[in-house]
Chains A and B, each alone.
Chain A
Amino acid sequence: MNEFKVLTRESGNAVVMELQGFLDAHTAPDLEKTFSELMSKGKYNIVVNFDALNYISSAGLGVFMAYIDEVRNNHGDIKLANMQQKVFNVFDLLGFPYLYEIYKDQEEALKKFNSR
């Protein structure tokens, strides 16, 4: 079984979302649920840490696309960090680096929020 887990924790004025495992059409609804909960709590400064994510398909990428407008309309952002090369390649093929800030390290992404 390819499992998937999302852990969230607060860090300064942002929320760090840690993804683990395999993000595909089966597990994407779990990520959607987490985003939806953050939206309902008014948490719009989000750093996604991909360090422990081994796999992503377009169903997973779609979740980030689904929430980015709502987040930015509320003066927040979804910043992506710590991607393994193979996961980054998928984002890159779809042109995500033009639309999302992608950082090598989660701390860099957090600094951007905390310096606001």
Chain B
Amino acid sequence: MKSSEKIEAKRVFKSTTNALAEVREFVDELAARFGFGDKEVSEITLAVDEACTNVIKHAYKGKPDAEFEVRVLATGREFQIVVRDWGASFKPDEVPVPNIRDKYRKHKAGGLGIFLMKKLMDTVEYQDRDTSNEVRLVRYLRNEQKS
């Protein structure tokens, strides 16, 4: 039986959408190394992409010279990703749960990212710190993946 190794890794990215491919590559590799299957790796990577897209578009409002940090802490069965930025704080409670039909009528895709993150991850938590914001995403390794 392969046991999941402990992983601690951190990388800093520029706040441009160009960085999203690098973020995905970073998370993809670590999630696979931890023992997730292909489907789960894709889901985790997508959730992190959505979190970082929100940082780039909303926290930094497209300002390209800022930075954000992606930290992966994985141990036991818990794979945790923390995305941290130093931009405008984000109030997830103010983002309504999207009704796809409504969104479709209003031509708006905003809020879909948060909705996806919540569907794809076991935990999605926002924390407003003094000078930074953090979103913590957790996905647990299930039994059948640890083979």
Hey, which bits of chain A sit against chain B, CB under 8 A? 1-2, 22, 24-26, 55, 57-59, 61-63, 65-66, 68-69, 86, 89-90, 93-96, 98-99
Asked whether B39 lies within 8 Å of A86 as measured between CB atoms, the reply is yes
Interface on chain A toward B: helix, strand, loop, or mixed SS?
A: helix
Nearest 7 A/B pairs, CB to CB: A62-B109, A26-B17, A2-B21, A58-B112, A95-B100, A25-B53, A58-B113
Interface on chain B toward A: helix, strand, loop, or mixed SS?
A: helix
Hey, which bits of chain B sit against chain A, CB under 8 A? 16-18, 20-21, 24, 39, 42, 46, 49-50, 53, 56-57, 100-101, 103-105, 107-110, 112-113, 115-116, 119-120
| 12 extra interface residue pairs, beta carbon distance < 8 Å, beyond A62-B108, A94-B115 | A22-B21, A57-B46, A58-B53, A58-B116, A62-B110, A69-B104, A69-B105, A86-B42, A90-B116, A93-B116, A94-B112, A99-B104
Q: How far is the CB of B128 from chain A (nearest CB, A)?
A: 23
Q: 27 A–B contact pairs at CB < 8 A? A: A24-B20, A24-B21, A25-B53, A26-B17, A26-B20, A26-B21, A55-B46, A57-B49, A57-B50, A57-B53, A58-B50, A59-B53, A61-B109, A62-B108, A62-B109, A63-B109, A65-B103, A65-B107, A66-B107, A86-B39, A86-B42, A89-B39, A90-B116, A94-B112, A95-B100, A96-B100, A98-B101
